[in-house]
Amino acid sequence: MDTLAENSSKTLAHGGGQVASDDIPRDGTGVVKLDPWLSPFQDSLKRRYAKTQDWIKKIDETEGGLDKFSKGADTFGLHMNKDKSITYKEWAPNAVQASLIGDFNNWNREAHPMKKNEFGVFTLTIPPTADGQPAIPHNSKIKISLQLPSSEWVDRLPAWIKYVTQDLSVSPAYDARFWNPAPEDQYMFKHPRPKRPESLRVYEAHVGISSPELRVTTYKEFTKTMLPRIKSLGYNVIQLMAIMEHAYYASFGYQVNNFFAASSRFGPPEDLKELVDTAHSLGMIVLLDVVHSHASKNVLDGLNEFDGTDHQYFHEGPRGKHELWDSRLFNYGHHEVMRFLLSNLRFWMDEYCFDGFRFDGVTSMLYLHHGIGTGFSGGYHEYFGAGVDEEAVVYMMLANELLHELYPEVITVAEDVSGMPALCLPLALGGLGFDYRLAMAIPDMWIKLLKEVKDEDWNIGNICWTLTNRRHGEKTIAYCESHDQALVGDKSLMMHLCDAELYTNMSTLTPLTAVIDRGMALHKMIRLVTHGLGGEGYLNFEGNEFGHPEWLDFPREGNQNSFWYARRQLNLTDDPLLRYQFLNNFDRGMNLTEAKYGWLHAPQAFISLKHEGDKVIVFERAGLVFVFNFHATNSYTDYRIGVEVAGTYRIVLNTDRKEYGGFNRLDEGTRFFTEPLAWNERKNCTHVYIPARTALVMALESTI
C-alpha cells in the first residue's frame, strides 16, 4: 500500500474531493480549509494523523504492509492445505502450553501439542490421515486447551473460528466447529458486486425477525421472501444486523463473542453467501453491521480472558469494561488487536462479499467516557480534548483507509451521536474516512414532537433546522426511526401516532377514524420530508415502512422467552382489507420517485418557505419542488409558492393518492404554469392546492 500522505488523490475520491490535492497540507490539517473553526485544534489533528502514519510505517517495517497485515484470517485460525494437512495458529501470550482438542482426537490434551514462538503465537500442523483425508472432519467440534502460568488448564474456542453452534438444551455456551465443506458443497459467488449507488436508500434488516411466525427466520427464507420485497420497495442497500455471532439472541447482535463467525442460528455460512450473492444479482448492495466498539464478556465462548488475562484483546482494569453495556473494550493501541480487527473487516469483505459496513457504537469508541452521562453541546473542545480516545480514532482512520484502498466501491457508515467533525472526510484531509454518518438527531426530534407537542404547535422552522443541520461536505443518512426506536421501552412512530387504534381501526371495513387518518397522513409526510431534506441517504428499519403495529422484543427471561415481538408481521401488507398496504405503497412510491430524480445525491435543498401560521414548508432539490402542509385542518387553494426554474410543472408524487390511503383530492393531470414574479427568494412563482396534512412533489413536465 502506498504511503497514505502520498496517496491523497485516491483518498479524496471517497470524501467528495472538496479540496484540490495539491493544496492539502501533509500533516492532517486539510480539514481546516473546509472548516476554519477547527484552526485552534490543529495540534490534535496533527497528532492523530501522525499516529496513523506511525502505524503505517511500523506495519510496513514489521509486517510487509497493511495489505498483508490485514490478511490475518488467511493464516490465523484453522486452515486446510492443498495436501489435506491442517494448520492451526493462535495468539495467546500468557499461556505456557497449548494443544488442540476435539472430537477428532477424543479431546486428548496430549495428542496435538502446539509450539509457541517469541511473540506468543502457538502453531500446529496436523498431517492428513493414512487414506489422505483431513484429520479433523468437517463440522466436528474443537477447542484449544491452554495451560496458564498457575499450571491450570483452560479450554477456549479458537479466537478466529468461522463457525460455532449452540445447543440451548445442553448449555447457552457455543461449540466451535471446523467448517471445511467439500468443494461441491461450498457456495461459489456468481454475481459481481453492483456499483456503489449515487443515492443510498437503506433497508435495515434483521434476518431472525423476518417472518410473521414465532421462530427464528433463516438466511434461506430471507433470500427467498425478503430480498424481492426489499427490491420492490425501491431500496438499493440492505444493512444486515446481528450477523456476527452472539450467544445471547436478545442482545440484538451487539454482544459479539465470535467475530469471524456468521451466526449459525440463521443457518450455515454457505446460506449467508447465497443471500449476499442473490442481493447482488438484484442490483442491491449489502452492508454488515459491524461491532468493533466492544465485545461480549463471555469467557467460555468469547475473547474475554482468552489466555487467562483480562488484557489480551482488551484494556485491563476499569478502562477495559463498559459500565452500561456490561461488555469488554478493545485495546486499539495493541499490535495484535489491530491485526485482529483489520483482518476481521477484510474477512467479511472477501469471504462473504459484503459491500461495506455500518460501524456500531462509534461514539463509544471515540471517547474515553464512551458518551456516558455526556450531553454533547457541539462545542469543538468536546471533540479534541482529553476525553478523546485517540487510539480508537487512529484505528478508525486506518480501517477506513485500508477499506477504501482495497475496495474502491466500499461504503462505510458511522453511528455517532456526538457530531465529531471530519468523521466523514478522508484521511488525507485529517478526517476519519467514513463515507456517511447517521443523522441521529432526526428520530429524536420526531419522537419528541409526537410525545410532547400538539400538531398545531409544531415549530416548522425548528423541524427544517434539525433536518438540514449537518456538517458541510460530510454525507449523512437520514431516518425517522431505526431499530433503536422499535425496541421495547420505546414506540415506533406509528404507535406514537395511533397507539391502540392500530389493533382495532386499520381495517378498510371499518370507518376511517380521526386518529388513523391523522396517523397515516403524518406517517407519510414525516417520511417524505425526512427523505427529501434530511441527508444524502435514507434509512428505514424493516416493517416501519408500513407502520408496523408493535415494538421489538427478543425472547428473554423477562417475557417468558416469547417470540411474539421478535418477528415482523409483513403479512399485514398483503391483506387487501388492511390499511397497512397503503403506507407500504407510499414507501415504494417515494423510493421509486427518488430513484428517478436522485434528490439524495443532489446538493442540499433550498427552503423557500417555512410558514409557522400556515404550517407549510416548500423547498427545491434536484429540480423538484416539495410542498408540505402540516396544518391539521386548513387546506389552501391557489397557494402561491416560489419556484426557481420557469416552466410547466406536474405532480409526480403526492401523499393523498387513493393507493396511499388518501382521498384523491389532487388531480395529477393538472399543469402548473410559472409566472415571472419573484417570490420567497425564487425567480418565479406558481399556485397550488394543498389539502391539510398533505404533501406533494412537482417536477418539470419535460422530465416526466
CATH number of the domain at 658, please.
2.60.40.1180
116 is in which domain, residue-wise? 77-158
How far is Cα 344 from Cα 265, in angstroms, rounded to an integer? 20
Tell me the percentage of the chain whose pLDDT exceeds 90. 91
The grid coordinates of residue 659 equal: 393507493
CA 291, CA 345: separation in Å to the nearest integer? 10
Q: How many domains does the chain have?
A: 2
Task: With a cut of 70, say whether residue 9 has pLDDT above it.
Answer: no
φ/ψ of residue 386, rounded to 5 = -70, -15
pLDDT in tens, 651-684: 999 999 999 999 999 999 999 999 999 999 999 9
Cell of 433: 474516512
Q: Which helix (H) or strand (E) holds 277?
A: helix 269-281
Tell me the average pLDDT across 677-701: 98
> Is 98 a member of any domain?
yes
More confident residue, 459 or 15: 459
Q: pLDDT by residue (tens digit) across 524-574?
A: 999 999 999 999 999 999 999 999 998 889 999 889 999 999 999 999 999
More confident residue, 337 or 11: 337
* Domain end residue (candidates: 158, 174, 191): 158
| Residue-wise pLDDT tens digits, 494-508 | 999 999 999 999 999
Average the pLDDT over 9-22 and give the result. Answer: 47
Q: Which amino acid, residue 624?
A: L
Asked if residue 20 is part of any domain, the answer here is no
Residue with cell 391483506: 575
Domain boundary residue, one of 158, 181, 198: 158
Question: In the predicted model, what is the mean pLDDT of residues 464-478?
Answer: 95
Is the pLDDT at 19 greater than 70? The verdict is no
Read off the pLDDT band of 24 (50, 70, 90): confident
Residue 100 sits in a domain whose CATH number is: 2.60.40.10
Residue 8 confidence (pLDDT) = 36
Residue 361: pLDDT band (50, 70, 90) is very high
Phi first, then psi, for residue 402 (nearest 5°) are -60, -50
d(CA 391, CA 395): 6
SS3 category, 460: helix
What is the CA 227 to chain-centroid distance, rounded? 17
Distance of CA 8 to the CA centre of its chain: 27
pLDDT in tens, 217-257: 999 999 999 999 999 999 999 999 999 999 999 998 999 99
Residues in CB range of 166: below 8 A, 6 or more apart: 172, 173, 174, 175, 247, 264, 265
Q: What is the pLDDT of residue 22?
A: 65
**619 membership: H or E segment, kind and range:** strand 616-621
Average pLDDT estimate for 38-54: 96
- Domain assignment present for 658: yes
Asked if pLDDT for residue 15 goes beyond 50, the answer is no
Structure confidence by residue, pLDDT tens digits, 163-207: 999 998 888 899 999 999 999 999 999 999 999 999 999 999 999
669, part of any domain: yes
**Closest residue by Cα to residue 625 from 699, 524, 549:** 699
Lowest-pLDDT range, 77-91, 105-119, 164-178, 391-405? 164-178
In a domain, 416, yes or no: no
Predicted pLDDT at 21: 64
The pTM of the full predicted model, rounded to 2 decimals, is 0.96
User: Sorting pLDDT into bands at 50, 70 and 90, what band is 17?
Assistant: very low
Q: How confident is the model at residue 440 (pLDDT cuts 50, 70, 90)?
A: very high
Q: What is the mean pLDDT of the chain?
A: 95
pLDDT of amino acid 490: 77
The answer, yes or no, to whether residue 259 has pLDDT greater than 60, is yes
* Residue 644 covered by a domain: yes
- Predicted confidence band of residue 363 (pLDDT cuts 50, 70, 90): very high
Which pLDDT tens digit goes with each residue over 582-629?
999 999 999 999 999 999 999 999 999 999 999 999 999 999 999 999
Decide if 118 is inside a domain: yes
Does the structure show a pLDDT above 60 at 124?
Answer: yes
Alpha-carbon distance 133 to 83, whole Å?
9
Cβ proximity of 356 and 404 under 8 Å: no
Q: Choose the final residue of a domain: 117, 143, 158.
A: 158
Which positions are annotated as active-site residues?
360, 415
In a domain, 652, yes or no: yes
> Residue 360 has what pLDDT?
97
Distance CA 704, CA 702 (A): 6
pLDDT level of residue 20 (50, 70, 90 thresholds): low
